[in-house]
Amino acid sequence: MLTKDDMLVQDGNSLLVYNPTVQDILDIYECRKSLESLSARLAAIHITEEQLNELERIIHESKESLKNNDKQKLTYLNQQFHDIIAIASLNKQLIKLFEVIKTKVLYIRNCILKERTDCFPELVDDHIQIYLAMRARDPLKRKKQ
């Protein structure tokens, strides 16, 4: 499974752990950004009240985890938040595309975010803005600057 996800790379007779280059990270996040943008637009139209309540719960737990400086839980909650939106998009192909890059995104996020705790408050703020757009059922609502 790790080889399929390119997390283990064959180098002659050796298997090496994936070590992304800067370009790998940029490429993956460029794909992720496009997929998440489409996912959010579709989810704003299709999201259920139950899913909205789940997003709200995740935001609440994220705020608590932020207060407690629980990076591991914040990372987990962040993934949950985005998974719910992907599922709410009701686009099966989009969900499958997320699965293709999910392992690498999580690996990169864990490597980067463990050193960048300063970005967690912005992450929670972004989730609040996304949630408000979902609640308003507005697929074109933009983040407030």
Q: Which pLDDT tens digits describe the chain residue by residue (145 residues)?
A: 666 667 777 778 887 777 788 898 899 889 999 999 999 999 999 999 999 999 999 999 999 999 998 888 988 999 999 999 999 999 999 999 998 888 888 888 777 656 666 678 888 999 999 999 999 998 776 544 4
Instruction: List the chain domain ranges.
Output: 8-135
For 115, the token pair is 């050193």
Distance CA(26)–CA(54), nearest Å, equals 30
Beta-bridge partner residues of 8:
17
Q: What is the pTM of this model?
A: 0.82
- Rounded to the nearest 10 degrees, the angle between the axes of helix 71-88 and helix 22-46 is 50
Residues 88-104, buried b or exposed e (16+ Cβ, 10 A)? bbebeebeebbeebbbb
CATH number of 8-135: 1.20.120.530
